[in-house]
């Protein structure tokens, strides 16, 4: 398997990947106001049973967004795409936003996500970006654990961020 720059012909295979995920936990946000202060806390809560969750973005949007990506990489296994990642750069801030890091369901937990992440981190470093930020739903526990495993730290959230009113969590890492 190689990670390479995507070409427009790759989009059909990217959109065909199974983007759904299964989760056993969610990050629950507790908010409390006291004496004019806002108190927030997050905790991981185990669900009574695993839950299949639809990816919050429409994969078909990749066609419309094609020209906007600063880096769009695919994991290619002899012509079969196993995953992809898309990054938007903000050079003035020295930051890159990873909007997608997808590995098709049958190919997960085989190092493909790590290979894509390492490649996009190399791209970011080569383009003088100092920080990377990833976003995910608060119920995407597998992605949260993936980020933490790779040194990303929780840095914020946004309520009703996705079309379905789901909460987005943001994890960031400083690049050396």
140 part of a folded domain = yes
CATH number at residue 140: 3.40.630.30
- 139 in any annotated domain: yes
Residue at 31 is within a domain: no
Number of folded domains that form the chain:
1
Burial 17-50 (b: 16+ CB within 10 A, else e): bebebebebbbeeeeeeeeeeeeeeeeeeeeeee
Domain, as residue range, for 96 = 2-17+56-174
- At 94 the pLDDT is 96
166 in a structural domain: yes
**Does any domain span residue 88?**
yes
Phi, psi (rounded to 5 degrees) for 17: -65, 150
Spatial separation of the C-alpha atoms in residues 72 and 131, rounded to whole Å = 17
Q: Is residue 26 part of a domain?
A: no
- Helix (H) or strand (E) segment spanning residue 43: strand 37-53
* pTM confidence score: 0.92
How confident is the model at residue 66, as a pLDDT? 86
27 falls within a domain? no
Q: Over the chain (176 residues), what is each successive 10-residue block's mean pLDDT?
A: 96 95 94 90 94 90 89 96 97 95 95 98 97 96 96 94 89 94
């Amino acid at each position: 398997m190689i990670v390479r720059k995507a070409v427009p012909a790759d989009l059909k295979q990217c959109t065909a990947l199974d983007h759904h995920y299964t989760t056993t936990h969610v990050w629950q946000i507790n908010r409390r106001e006291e004496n004019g202060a806002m108190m927030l806390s997050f905790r991981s809560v185990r669900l009574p049973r695993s839950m299949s969750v639809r990816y919050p973005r429409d994969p078909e949007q990749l066609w419309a967004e094609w020209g906007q990506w600063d880096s769009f990489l695919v994991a290619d296994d002899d012509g079969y795409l196993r995953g992809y990642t898309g990054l938007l750069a903000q050079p003035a801030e020295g930051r890159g936003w990873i909007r997608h890091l997808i590995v098709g369901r049958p190919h997960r937990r085989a190092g493909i996500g790590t290979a894509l992440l390492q490649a996009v981190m190399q791209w970011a470093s080569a383009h003088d970006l100092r920080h990377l930020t990833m976003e995910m739903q608060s119920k995407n526990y597998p992605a949260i654990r993936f980020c933490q495993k790779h040194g990303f730290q929780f840095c914020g959230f946004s309520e009703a961020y996705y079309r379905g009113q789901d909460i987005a969590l943001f994890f960031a890492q400083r690049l050396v």
